[in-house]
Structures are given as structure tokens and as C-alpha cells.
Amino acid sequence: MGRLFGTDGVRGVANADLTAELALGLSVAAAHVLAEAGTFAGHRPTAVVGRDPRASGEFLEAAVVAGLASAGVDVLRVGVLPTPAVAYLTGALGADLGVMLSASHNAMPDNGVKFFARGGHKLADELEHRIEAVYEQHRSGEPWARPTGAGVGRVSDYDAGFDQYIAHLIGVLPNRLDGVKVVLDEAHGAASRVSPEAFARAGAEIVTIGADPDGLNINDGCGSTHLEMLQAAVVEHGADLGIAHDGDADRCLAVDAEGREVDGDQILAVLALAMREAGQLRKNTVVGTVMSNLGFKLAMEREGIELVQTAVGDRYVLESMKAEGYALGGEQSGHVIVLDHATTGDGTLTGLMLAARVAATGRTLADLAGVMSRLPQILINVPDVDKSRVTTSAELAAAVADAERELGATGRVLLRSSGTEPLVRVMVEAADIEQAKAVAGRLADVVKSALG
């Protein structure tokens, strides 16, 4: 069996790859593995279960709840809430496990199962591996040990989670948002109620789009993967800024008053300066990934802030932050982690903090984001090559060295093997877009010839 867990839970086409049987079996396996690890020792275990509005989330939630309860875990159903809300409530309620049903920014037919450990943190890799092994072992025929009578889990709805999460968001804001007009694009997703309510309670004047989920329209031409509607709405309504979430609202991208995109790197730059000013940027460091724009790195150097770069993926950003005690990290895609207030990327919190900075300074978002100049970045995927040789090919190494000499200090080359496909990603940044295109094209040709 191939690996079920990716970097962000188990994901696939609902009712094809991700079936009710798989969701139920993984939930039972997770309960058994956590029991073996001592997580449930000395008390009756509890799990928080939430989902995004996808139609498939209805039957998958039922399967997860059934699996957990059959394994003796009491379940609190919090309904449709963002992924970071489920993570927060897992910690705030002292639950032993959190489960979120969402495929994030993926199209509607997909869905996913993501587990959170006690405290609302992502499960460690070794626990995910163990859950897979135990699931496969019992799928092959070994019977589960099942509680009976009063030992089975009880299931209840926890409706207070909505207000509890919003109160948390408002409580950690450095200042109110009075006088700021914001357009919110909720991607017809999990934040469709939460985000507008939070911004309104914080004092912002809001215009909301993409907030009418019907189970089928999540991420459909809206949200953080399709900014066009938001860009038009911000200009039309004369708003100070726009905020876009993905389906489960763990991401945030923004739009300035002129309708220009403000990406995750720019948001990180704005928040890094705000947190340093407030004495909250521990070790004067922000965490990004190897895909962070070179302009972000140059801006942080100019501002005297250290930048630590990890592999691509918010889980690697989070691992670095937790290991070293950093307070802020994230990705260009809009996953921003403020570790003092969230255990995972929280798009609503990120948007609130960005709007709070606009309110506190009286400056436009364009002015604040101007702390960095986003250098042109060209990405070419080269398929059907031997990606295992990307670090050992002498011909490729020589071509990269030549490209780096040509680009100098204001350019960058990054070659990455895809983790899921037989291809190599060629990324080139340069001060000039035409130079970036030319260098990337030449490197892609060398990848084809050297690794083909």
C-alpha cells in the first residue's frame, strides 16, 4: 500500500479514493494508536470533529464519528468551521484528538481527513505511520478490540465552538479595526460565517463575497486560488483592502485598494515588522521556505530581521518554529502561522492582523507591503525525467552555476524534485522578468537533456 498521509493529512476524490470505509477505518486506527501511545491514559477520551461545507463532508463526518465512537471515544461535533478553529478548539477544550474533514483549496469533488493531537498540533510523522500500519493490519482481516455497553463513545453537538473561536480571534488582536473597510472572499468555504462575524465584531466595515456555500461551490472561481472577483470587488466598493481565504481558511491572501495582489511573503513582511515593533518577534526571526521570494529575503536583510528557510510545506515551517521558539512563519501561498495564537496556519487571524496593522498605522496596505519588492519568479515543470539525479548530475550543476553567475546577487535559481510526480521544478528569480524567463528556459532544456 502506498502512503495514505501526505504533508497535510489524507486527501483524494471523495467516495472514490477517500471512501466512508477508509474514513471510518482511519478513525478507529487513530483511536487505537493514540490509546497505545498513552494519550488516553487515566481518562475517557474526547475528540473534536469539524468539516468544511463540501457535500461529501456530510457522509465522511458520519463515518469518522462512527469510527471514533465505536472505539470508545466521546465526540464533540463542532460542524462547519475552519481548520484552525478545529485545531484551536481541540486545545481549548482539552480534547485528546481533533479531526478536520476538508480538502482545503482543492476542487469540490475532493475531500480529506486531517488529525490533530492533543493541544491542536498536527500529528507527528511516526504516529501517522503507525495509524497507516494499524489501519492496513485490520483492513486485512484482524478484528478490532471493541468496547461494549457504557464503554462506547457518546456523540454530541458542540454549538459554542463558533463564538468561542471568534472570541479567541478578537482577544488576540493588538487593536480594533474601526475605520477600515474590508472585502472578504470566503471561497464558499468553512469561514463563510466565522470570518465576516469576526471582522464585524472587531469594528471593520465589511463587504462579503463567496459566502453562500451550497456544498458544491467551494473554491469555484473564488477564494485565494481565484483572486479576480475580490480584486474587482475591492475597487468597486472603494475598500481599503480585500482578504481571500481558501476552502478551509488556513490560508490568507490579500488585495490592496488598487486591486493588486498582496501574497504570503508580503503579508509576512508586514507582520514581521509589526511584531518586532511590539516586541513579539522572538529571536528577531521569521521562518519562510526555499520558495520564499528573493525580494522577501532582501527586505528582511535590509530591515535587520533574520530569515530561516525550510523545505516547502507549512508543516516544515511549523516544525522549525516549534523547535527553535520562533513566533512567525509562513509560505508565499498564504499559510501564515502566528505561533503565540495558533497551532497552524489561520487565514482569518492573518487577515485580522493585517487589517489591524492598516488601522493602527493609518497607512495603506500598498504602502505597508512596499517594504519588499516582489522579484519576478518563473517556474517551469519538466516532466518525465529521472528526478533522483537532480543533485548528482555534473552537467546540471555546471548549468546552475553559470545561471547563478549571470543573475548575481539580485537573482536566484532553485531546482526541486517533485514529491509526488516524475518531474523536476525549475524556479528562477531575477530583477528583470525577461531575464528570468530566458534563464529558466535554458535550465529546463538542460534538465531534459541531462536527466531525460
User: What domains can be seen in the chain, in order of their start residue?
Assistant: 5-159 (3.40.120.10), 163-369 (3.40.120.10), 377-451 (3.30.310.50)
Pairing relation of β-strands 241-244 and 253-256?
antiparallel
Beta pairing partners, 100: 50, 114
- Closest to 274 in 3D by CA, of 212, 336, 188, 319: 336
Query: Does residue 98 surpass a pLDDT of 70?
Result: yes
- Residues that constitute the known binding site: 104, 246, 248, 250
Q: pLDDT tens for residues 237-296?
A: 999 999 999 999 999 999 999 999 999 999 999 999 999 999 999 999 999 999 899 999
Please provide the distance, in angstroms rounded to a whole number, between the alpha carbons at the two ends of the chain.
28
Confidence of residue 435 (pLDDT cuts 50, 70, 90): very high
Q: Which residues are annotated as a binding site for Mg(2+)?
A: 104, 246, 248, 250
pLDDT in tens, 118-177: 999 989 889 999 999 999 998 877 888 899 999 999 999 999 999 999 999 999 999 999
Active site residue 417: no
Interacting residues of 445 by C-beta distance below 8 A, sequence separation 6+: none
Of the listed 102, 104, 195, 333, which one is catalytic? 104
Contacts of 431 (CB under 8 A, 6+ apart): 375, 376, 410, 411
pTM: 0.91
